Amino acid sequence: MCGILAIFGCTDNSQAKRARIIELSRRLRHRGPDWSGLHCHEDCYLAHQRLAIVDPTSGDQPLYNEDKTIIVTVNGEIYNHMDLRAKLKSHEFRTGSDCEVIAHLYEEYGEDFVDMLDGMFSFVLLDTRDRSFIAARDPIGITPLYMGWGLDGSIWFASEMKALSDDCERFISFLPGHIYSSKSGELRRWYNPPWYSECIPSTPYEPLVLRKAFEKAVVKRLMTDVPFGVLLSGGLDSSLVAAVASRYLAESNVSRQWGSKLHTFCVGLEGSPDLKAAREVADYLGTHHHEFHFTVQEGIDAIEEVIYHIETYDVTTVRASTPMFLMSRKIKSLGVKMVLSGEGSDEIFGGYLYFHKAPNKEEFHEETCRKIKALHLYDCLRANKSTSAWGVEARVPFLDKDFINVAMDIDPQWKMVRAGVGRIEKWVLRNAFDDDQNPYLPKHILYRQKEQFSDGVGYSWIDGLKDHANRNVSDAMLTKASFIYPENTPTTKEAYYYRTVFEKFFPKNAARSTVPGGPSIACSTAKALEWDAAWSKNPDPSGRAALGIHAAAYNEEADTLASVNNTSLMLDIPQKLQEGIVEATATAV
């Protein structure tokens, strides 16, 4: 990942202003410690902090077209850049950077080229020929981007809020799948896939089609000129990423440079569920596995730094970002600069445990659409910023544009939990990789129950965070929370504690408005709370709050729920999973 900063319409073009922009760009250097660049044209500035992944020797930014009339600063990876170069035979490329293609595509096609890009990206482009500029963000928001306005009328763009919050009166999170054009002065959505309208699809489930689409998504993300690995929690999603990467690594170009033995990484408290499961998967796949431990106190000590980097006070995000932040530091110390990760699968396939209670396929599908559209505020933000804090790039195959189209076109009836016939959460994905002839994973891993990252690193992690918050936030403080924080008022001491840390770094109203709010159960949207009346009594984002579903659900509430509503779910599902006897079935819907 890189860091970008761009300002247009500065009334002050003095040396002091240039120095200020360099200072602000330096706040993003953790994202790109390998090189810094700055281009100034009249009242426009484009700055870049580079993390060199592809073409480390010549791909420094900003990048240009042939006569340097078009300048672009990019954060991300363009996986189909070689195919795009082939369409631009009349153009002369100066570097081997995958991002240089953006300047030439604009020159060839104008503003309507963004949908041709296959990758994760945020970029800002200046056309000096008519003093116009555009900014765009990838379809799902894997890479972060903020947009702001200065009192002098200037317009700002930055990879992280910390680079513009002090100098902009107002700023927002730039919407995924959108482009801003100075010619129209408006944001418009360039990404318009069929699923975005939330219409219910009816395409039959084809396991091999889904499998091939995911394998292709993983393989294209092996594009790298630096050492890489896979974040492996031992759950379904990360294990599939590791399994596919391991299977195809020897055939890829990267193996000639870095070898065909995959490196995998896991973090957790001593004895945590993830550590055990990840070790088993790594042994099965034959990877070079790295296991990192942290203590609850080490995690708590890092909280303030984590919130500074991830720029949110959302409880689930802070919980999960902290171990990922600690792990990324260890990964970087090993010389690794890029990792593959498993984010996005739960949103696409309804993998969170609360989906067990979806009343029908229509509401199931609509909830998955809502979850994907909000990923840039949650898991994408976490995966990107907690790794970029240490100059590590996270790539997410499940959020591949083509794979999402395939997966979201499946009739959602196939995705719904049907315990009576052995269909647990994400059954369509598990079944697609359930190959007895050439197994990807052991059966009991393939059918392991969903474990949220903040839970899987060790249940005492969340319990320790709550205890710490209880010691630092009094009952009186929480009671008066609505007076101190009238917007997105924290309802728990843990949320209150994170909010105070966030406000210390980002005190402006615009900053707190970039963070989503509202009640949640096991990572649900507020709308999905309507699926079960009992959930409103325990609005905790942990997977263990999915009472009667999670094998380690909060006990007291689980007992209450079981006595009230134990007929709507197969309460022996966790036991079936532990025994590894869930059967894949192709029974027609």
Active site residues: 2
**Of all helices (H) and strands (E), which one includes residue 189?**
strand 186-189
C-alpha triplet 303, 304, 306: angle, nearest 5°: 65
Q: What does the alpha-carbon distance between residue 429 and residue 342 come to, in Å, rounded to a whole number?
A: 13
Kindly list the distances between the CA atom of residue 6 and the CA atoms of 187, 268, 328, 423, in Å, as whole numbers in the listed order.
17, 38, 27, 49
334 C-beta neighbours (distance < 10 Å), count:
12
Phi, psi of 334 (to 5 degrees): -90, 0
Show binding-site residues for L-glutamine.
Answer: 98
How do strand 393-395 and strand 338-340 relate by DSSP bridges? parallel
Listed in sequence order, the residues at least 6 apart from 519 whose beta carbon sits closer than 8 Å to its beta carbon are 491, 526, 529, 536, 539
89 C-beta neighbours (distance < 10 Å), count:
6
Q: Is 237 helix (H, G, I), strand (E, B) or coil?
A: helix
Q: What does the alpha-carbon distance between residue 197 and residue 563 come to, in Å, rounded to a whole number?
A: 39
Nearest to 523 by CA among 314, 308, 303, 313: 314
DSSP label of 260? S
* Tokens read off for 384: 């990107």
Nearest to 2 by CA among 45, 36, 50, 35: 50
Q: What does the alpha-carbon distance between residue 100 and residue 6 come to, in Å, rounded to a whole number?
A: 17
The stretches of 156-232 forming alpha helices (DSSP H) are 207-220
What are the residues facing 180 on neighbouring strands? 135, 187
Whether 416 and 364 have beta carbons less than 8 Å apart is answered as yes
Q: Angle, nearest 10°, between helix axes 493-505 and 459-472?
A: 70
Show binding-site residues for ATP.
Answer: 231, 267, 341-342
139 C-beta neighbours (distance < 10 Å), count:
27
Phi, psi of 228 (to 5 degrees): -145, 175
Q: Locate the DSSP E strands across 294-392.
A: 338-340
